[in-house]
């Protein structure tokens, strides 16, 4: 299984498409659709040249492709396409390390239809700034959107929660 266009649409909806490097909410240099590290391992910096829209999507697809390899090894059950897309959008943001040790993964592997999975997405609604975890409205919206795609097979950006 591969991430579909819905996965990329969800990622873009939260990351945005920014063709010049910028600092994200945590102060990490980012470009494109949330790329922080180029495929060659180099971190994005403030001095990086602008990229094209095509390059932004290419970078995101390379990132998702690497994450898919890890996810397929960790997920021990069959998922529907929308469920896989939601998980891939989550991993794109939270990372494979967070997913590998998460209750989210454990619940999915036990029963991919368990309603507790929604809450397991929401566990990751905090951002670490200067060593402290703080609730993030943006991550709360994002996790709800991922859970919504996972359970309802619909993309919803939860704009009413702004």
14-66 pLDDT, tens digit each: 999 999 999 998 899 999 999 999 999 999 999 999 999 999 999 999 999 99
At residue 94, the pLDDT reads: 95
Q: Which CATH architecture has domain 5-154?
A: Orthogonal Bundle (1.10)
pLDDT at 159 over 60: no
Is the pLDDT reported for residue 90 higher than 80? yes
Residue 95 DSSP label: -
Nearest to 117 by CA among 93, 70, 149: 149
Nearest Cα to Cα of residue 25 among 146, 125, 144, 157:
125
Q: What is the pLDDT of residues 106-130, one digit of tens each?
A: 999 999 999 999 999 999 999 888 8
Q: Kindly give the residue spans of alpha helices, DSSP state H, lying in the chain.
A: 5-15, 53-74, 81-94, 96-100, 103-110, 116-122, 137-152
User: What is the pTM for the complete model shown?
Assistant: 0.92
- Which percentage of the chain shows pLDDT scores above 70? 97
């Amino acid at each position: 299984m591969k991430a579909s266009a819905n996965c990329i649409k969800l990622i873009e909806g939260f990351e945005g498409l920014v063709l010049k490097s910028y600092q994200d909410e945590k102060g990490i240099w980012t470009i494109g659709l949330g790329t922080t590290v180029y495929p060659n391992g180099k971190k994005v910096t403030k001095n990086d040249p602008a990229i094209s829209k095509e390059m932004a999507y290419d970078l995101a697809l390379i990132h998702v492709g690497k994450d898919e390899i890890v996810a397929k090894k960790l997920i021990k059950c069959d998922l529907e396409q929308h469920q896989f897309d939601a998980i891939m959008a989550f991993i794109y943001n939270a990372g494979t390390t967070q997913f590998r040790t998460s209750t989210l993964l454990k619940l999915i592997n036990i029963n991919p239809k368990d309603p507790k999975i929604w809450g397991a997405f929401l566990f990751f609604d905090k951002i670490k700034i200067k060593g402290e975890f703080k609730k993030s409205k943006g991550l709360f919206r994002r996790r709800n959107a991922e859970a919504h795609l996972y359970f309802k097979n619909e993309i919803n950006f939860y704009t009413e929660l702004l």
